[in-house]
Structure 1
């Protein structure tokens, strides 16, 4: 069974909001064996919506629509669907009572446009929405189910989980799909592809390998499609084991995770503490760590020392080091790491100093030059990086490189301690 997701709203097409609904819906469908054929976003124009529905009906077995169900004039989805399905609208009493109760609880006056929220397609079944005023609708048209839902994410998710997914699980034609993800770091996508080319070439037709790169990391996702889910799991696990062996030191994890999650888990298990000292990354490394639940057990704190004065005051960097070598140098970043580790009383510390751009570079120290140091229990390691001209990408790549260096040092010192 194949599905298409249609999101409606000018705010998506002009970039005012990001379409997170489609990604979430696709994950839910994939988990129950329904493949997403296409995702489309269209403006709040009846003609565009009609074209999207017509095209979707020709290539998908299931169509899900979100957005445009509000009470204002720019929300035209219901009227357009009425034309597409060639049916009128009816006012659902149970929905109207629900909307009236919401306004009464808030002691707010109720307008006629609010009452129109209870209008649903005559041919549809109501998908009740306890979380808001716009109900969802399920309609069978020419043998295909159409699921209509509001665009507000928490309302859409509620309707999907409570009303839609239980019905979809009973539909025929679903084929099991299994994803097995591996995480790699420290190797570029093209080098990785060359390294595992023969394994990829030997994959059976029902298993596909995808490369999902981001700065400093590459995910490998094996997707298997077949009738026997347990067999798919066994097949992908066997292939994953071969990939892990071939990838070697660049391999991080045999699951869909992030480098910062691996670091958090590793340090939690060993009761290790981390601090950060950031200049050009502006606290982004600390943000990545603290966005994870449970990070307080291993992260003590961080300092964003943008100026030389703060590097001296908060991290104890020697003024002579700054004068002789500059803020973006191996000598300075080493002292930053040691200072953070000492002042925060941690086992490990990351330090980053660089020229993120687009300005501030010189022939000797161009934009994109970044020095990273990691202070561990037994040693301090530092590495020079030369990234590009884009400020945002430089920050992201610096953060990924710093976490990778920390992970490498954690592994090295752990292995050394075990050997000792």
Structure 2
């Protein structure tokens, strides 16, 4: 059972926005045993969309389009959809009533003819109710294959996938089970690990695949299996996981739910322990707090943070002593530990992370080389710090600093 995703929009092709819709749809399909064969991005142009539909129909059982369903002239998806199915657009009264109700409730302006046009849909389409927007989703079938068109607005698309699309696909198709297990490693790169696992990979059953997912300071190893019997599939994958442990025991750091971010793991552990975290950031400029609070549930364990980017703020607001900075430099073990200790006290938390360093391109208030970062951690019992050299690319220095800070506290709270 395969699917293809087609994202529509010039804004994707010119790099104005990142295509996050495909990632969400692919993950949701995977959870119900549907494999995504290909993801394609095309312009808001009729012939381009038609070509993409025709090509996808040769490869996939399910074709999902997202985008191009708005009220403006460059939104041509539903007209193209109708042409592909040799259908015509007709007014759908239920959709029109929904659009009118949305305008009456949320808009101060009167509904326009362009907005009413949203209720013109292919006559053969099954309407997928979009409770958050004016553009409905559409479900059509042709020669045993399913074609689904969804709006490109992420929160509208996500609701339609969860409420309308996935339940209908479950009912419409017989699907195999898919099971993933992800192992986190540390201390060795992708090629070194691949060398150790060459023989292991050669002996894997045909229904199980191993993927290498390198990241900052770690490599994730994902075993993926597909089969008709769920219990047998899980047992088969777990047997291979045991084999990984035998070969890589010295560098395996953890197991995780598929694609679960380290910030989410930290949040879950802190919440279960009824502990709280705060942050004092310098070189990371708030990136640590931003990454942590991106995920739902962070408010249960994260109280707040301070971006003490300048030396003045470190002294006047965070309370780091000037003489400490004068003696050891603003980029030092002593200063980053004082930052963590003071943040822990300021926010009344159990743990506090701190960062100070030179992300580049210039050295700023310190003579430390660009890429030098100190990360501090205050715990209920102690305060300590580590020094890292992360290179001279500013963006990577910040990202690596956040990752290492998270690794430090995850290790600490996992052992608590």
| TM-score (normalizing by structure 2) | 0.88
Q: State the alpha-carbon separation in 2 of the partners of residues 13 and 269 from structure 1.
A: 43
- In structure 1, stretches of 5+ residues that fail to align are 415-420
CA shift for structure 1 position 287:
2.9
Q: After the TM superposition, which of the residue ranges 316-325 and 293-302 deviates more from structure 2?
A: 293-302
Q: 1:337 to 1:207 in 2, by over 3 A?
A: same
Q: State the alpha-carbon separation in 2 of the partners of residues 355 and 154 from structure 1.
A: 38
Aligned to 1:84: 84
Aligned to 1:124: 125
CA shift for structure 1 position 146:
1.3
CA shift for structure 1 position 370:
0.8
Aligned to 1:67: 67
CA shift for structure 1 position 259:
2.5
Contact 2:177 2:228 in 1 (8 A): yes
CA shift for structure 1 position 189:
3.1
Q: State the alpha-carbon separation in 2 of the partners of residues 16 and 227 from structure 1.
A: 42
Q: State the alpha-carbon separation in 1 of the partners of residues 340 and 126 from structure 2.
A: 62
CA shift for structure 1 position 224:
0.5
Q: State the alpha-carbon separation in 1 of the partners of residues 375 and 198 from structure 2.
A: 33
CA shift for structure 1 position 3:
0.9
Q: Does residue 164 of structure 2 align to residue 167 of structure 1?
A: no
1:320 to 299, 312, 323: 323
2:389 to 386, 390, 403: 386
CA-to-partner distance for each residue in 1:134-172, whole Å, 9 max, x for gaps? 232222223322112222233333333343323311334
Q: State the alpha-carbon separation in 1 of the partners of residues 319 and 251 from structure 2.
A: 35
CA shift for structure 1 position 280:
0.3
How many matched pairs? 413
Aligned to 1:359: 362
Aligned to 1:265: 268
Provide the aligned C-alpha RMSD in A. Answer: 2.8
Partner SS state of residue 168, structure 1: helix
Contact 1:69 1:151 in 2 (8 A): yes
CA shift for structure 1 position 344:
4.3
CA shift for structure 1 position 102:
3.9
Q: State the alpha-carbon separation in 2 of the partners of residues 298 and 131 from structure 1.
A: 31
Q: State the alpha-carbon separation in 1 of the partners of residues 325 and 129 from structure 2.
A: 65
Q: State the alpha-carbon separation in 1 of the partners of residues 278 and 196 from structure 2.
A: 35
Aligned to 1:113: 114
Q: State the alpha-carbon separation in 2 of the partners of residues 98 and 362 from structure 1.
A: 58
CA-to-partner distance for each residue in 1:243-293, whole Å, 9 max, x for gaps? 345344641234333323333333344444433222101122233334444
Q: State the alpha-carbon separation in 2 of the partners of residues 298 and 153 from structure 1.
A: 27
Aligned to 1:176: 177
| TM-score (normalizing by structure 1) | 0.87
Q: After the TM superposition, which of the residue ranges 81-90 and 229-238 deviates more from structure 2?
A: 81-90
